[in-house]
Amino acid sequence: MKKPLLAVFVLTGAVAFGHIPARAQAAASTNPSQNAQGSIDQDIDLLRKDIRSQKKQLIAANMQLSDSEAQAFWPVYDQYTADLVKLNNTKYEVIKEYAQSYSTMSDAQADDWAKRILKLDSDVAALRMKYQPAFRKVLPAKKAALYEQVERTAQMLIDVQLASQIPLVQP
């Protein structure tokens, strides 16, 4: 049961990430006055909301929480997600800046970008560390560990899909 859910999650993300530029380009060509960047931003925002929903469904399907565990777990998860969204807002701004400067990127810009992405990775790890005791407080140890596994797996899959859409820096 777990593998099909992960596969659906990955396929949905892959399809959605692959279609963002095409939809934005099509919208810009049918309505030239429309801001293409605004369309891309809207598509990304919708995609991010959809991914968060899918991730929550994936966690629910794999966690098999009792009613009392669910009552305690989901508010902590929702707060964690809200804090993660803030970090991901920064991540997507950094990626957007990278895309805008990709063909003209200076060494200083490349260095700044790399440092900012590494800091974001560190901030996400720190956020998970901050919330681990809260999850452990509302879940037995094995379920808290299972949550961390599912959360990390889902996040790694999202990151792989995202990374596959970002061209490598050309020295």
Q: How much is the pLDDT for 46?
A: 87
If you search the block for the tokens 């659906």, which residue do you land on? 8
SS3 110: helix
Which residue would you say has higher pLDDT here, 73 or 29? Answer: 73
Residue type, 16: A
CA distances for 113 relative to 83, 105, 119, 120, 142, angstroms: 22, 10, 10, 11, 38
The pTM of the full predicted model, rounded to 2 decimals, is 0.77
Residue 19 has pLDDT above 80, yes or no: no
Q: What is the pLDDT of residues 120-158, one digit of tens each?
A: 999 999 999 999 999 999 999 999 999 999 999 999 999
Show me where the domains of the chain are located.
2-163
Q: How much is the pLDDT for 35?
A: 64
**Confidence class for position 54, pLDDT limits 50, 70, 90:** very high
Rg for the chain, CA atoms, rounded: 18
CA distances for 120 relative to 81, 138, 155, angstroms: 15, 27, 14
Q: How much is the pLDDT for 88?
A: 94
Name the percent of the chain lying above pLDDT 90: 65
